[in-house]
Structure formats: structure tokens, C-alpha cells
Amino acid sequence: MTKFAGLSRQYWPTLVLFAFLLASWQAAVSFGGIREYLLPAPISVWNGLWSNEIAWSQHIWTTTLEIVGAFFMAAIVGVALGVAIAWSPLLANALVPFLVFVNTLPKVAIAPLFLIWMGYGIFPNMLMGALIGFFPVVINTAVGLSQVEADMLDLGRVFSAPKWKIFLKIRLPNALPYILSALKITATAAVVGAIVGEFVASQRGLGYVIVATQSSMNTSVAFAALIWISAVGLALYGLVVVVARLWAPWAEGID
């Protein structure tokens, strides 16, 4: 109860501002003569969210699948590359310049190539999200694995602990908060990637819905799709935050 009271004390300005913006938006459209295809009123958007004209559940499902797939691909590949870089200076020298190059490429520009190579489908869109989101994971993994006190490593040497043991018992848990912190960025990047992929080539998904409204001028549906996208994105982000809190409770306040 007190927690709820605290939360409501913290967030009432947000809620008030939100309500105010919604009301002014509705008023501007209703009384200001703004045409619906330019800026649909909040009520039309709300109706659009639940409209039967669009197979929302199908599109949401497709986009969610792409986002989650992108997220896990980025996480797995990112951690693996980060481990490789931290493990061996040779691999670091080989990989880092290449990774930096890949990271500086504007990924959006590669999306049409993905269409040529892989055609339509969920997988190329996943790959796009993974490509946008994997880099912070690589860097944070490598940094987290190396940011161990020198004295702690000396302690390991005193007990002649093998390298893999130092890795598993000291380096990897030490890197965990760094990795989880990067995954919050990846969660957002995965959304961008999936939507970009759908923009370029798709027949399904929330990004596709938005592109399709360009010809139908059904702007309220585009707005509704935006809201669904941010709902999916927020849910994934929230999930990562919760997992981070459960998995690395000692790291509160690192990010």
C-alpha cells in the first residue's frame, strides 16, 4: 500500500501530463478542423487498436517472434564474441576491427540486400534486429570479463586455479551485470531491426501494417500499429529489467 502510494506520488505528474496531452490532441482534432487522415483523434486510434479490419493478433505475433528471435540471436552471438575477445588477444586483434566495421555500417542500408539473399520471411527480419543489437553485448561482455581486480586474479594464481575456473567463478559472474545492461539496449534495437526489416520486405507484421496504410490513408491504423509496437518493445524491455534484477541483484544501480 505504501509502495503504491509512493509510486503514485512519483508518477502523478506523468499521468497528469499524459491526460492533458491526450485531451488537447482530441480537442485539436475535434474542434480545430484537422483532417482524420493527417492526424486521427485519440478515440479513432483507440478504436483502431481493437478493430477487426486488421488481423492484429497475427501481426503482433509475427513481429514479436522477430523481435524475440533477434534479441536472442544478438545475445548469444554477442556474448560468444565478447568471450572470444576477452579470452584471447589473438582473437581480439582479429575480430575487433571487423566488428567495428560491421557496427559502423548503417544496417538499414543492408536490409534490401537481405531481401535479395533471403527473400521474404521472419528470419531476415530477425537477422536485421540481431545485427543492430549485438554490438553493445560484445563490448560489455568483453569489458565485464576484464574488469576484475588484479588482487582477485592474484588470489586465483595463489591457489593455482586453472584459467577456465577463474573464468567461470570470477570473470563471468563479474561480467553478468554488464551483459544484462547491454541487453537492455539490445531489446530496443531488436524492435528497430524487426520493423526496418518489415518495412523493406514483408507481408505480415506491425511494420507491414504501417507501410500498408500509406496507400489506404488509414492513419489511425498506423497509429494503432505504433502503439502495439511500443507495447511489445516495452514488454521485452521490462522483462529484461526484471530478469536483470533477479539474476544479478548485487548489481543494483550499475546502469
Binding site for another protein (CB under 8 A): 149, 151-152, 154-161, 165-166, 169-170, 173-174, 176, 248, 250-251
**Total Cβ atoms within 10 A of residue 217:** 12
Q: Cβ contacts of residue 88 below 8 Å, gap of 6+?
A: none
Q: 35 vs 245, which CB is nearer to another protein? A: 245
Q: 31 vs 159, which CB is nearer to another protein? A: 159
The least CB distance from residue 174 to another protein, in Å, is: 8
Q: 20 vs 247, which CB is nearer to another protein? A: 247
Q: Cβ contacts of residue 64 below 8 Å, gap of 6+?
A: 232
Q: Rounded distance, CA 205 to CA 119, Å?
A: 15
The least CB distance from residue 148 to another protein, in Å, is: 9
Q: 161 vs 241, which CB is nearer to another protein? A: 161
Q: Rounded distance, CA 14 to CA 24, Å?
A: 15
Q: Cβ contacts of residue 59 below 8 Å, gap of 6+?
A: 204, 205, 206, 208, 209, 225, 228
Q: 11 vs 164, which CB is nearer to another protein? A: 164
The least CB distance from residue 181 to another protein, in Å, is: 15
Q: 231 vs 248, which CB is nearer to another protein? A: 248
The least CB distance from residue 157 to another protein, in Å, is: 4
Q: 152 vs 234, which CB is nearer to another protein? A: 152
The least CB distance from residue 83 to another protein, in Å, is: 18
Sign of the dihedral defined by the CA atoms of residues 151, 153, 155, 158, in that order: negative
- Residue 13 Cα distances to 4, 9, 230, angstroms: 15, 8, 21
Cα 165–139–110 angle (5° rounding)?
130
The least CB distance from residue 143 to another protein, in Å, is: 16
Of the chain, the end-to-end C-alpha distance in Å amounts to 28
Rg of the chain on CA atoms, in Å: 23
Cα 28–34–39 angle (5° rounding)?
90
The least CB distance from residue 254 to another protein, in Å, is: 10
CB 130 within 8 A of CB 196: no
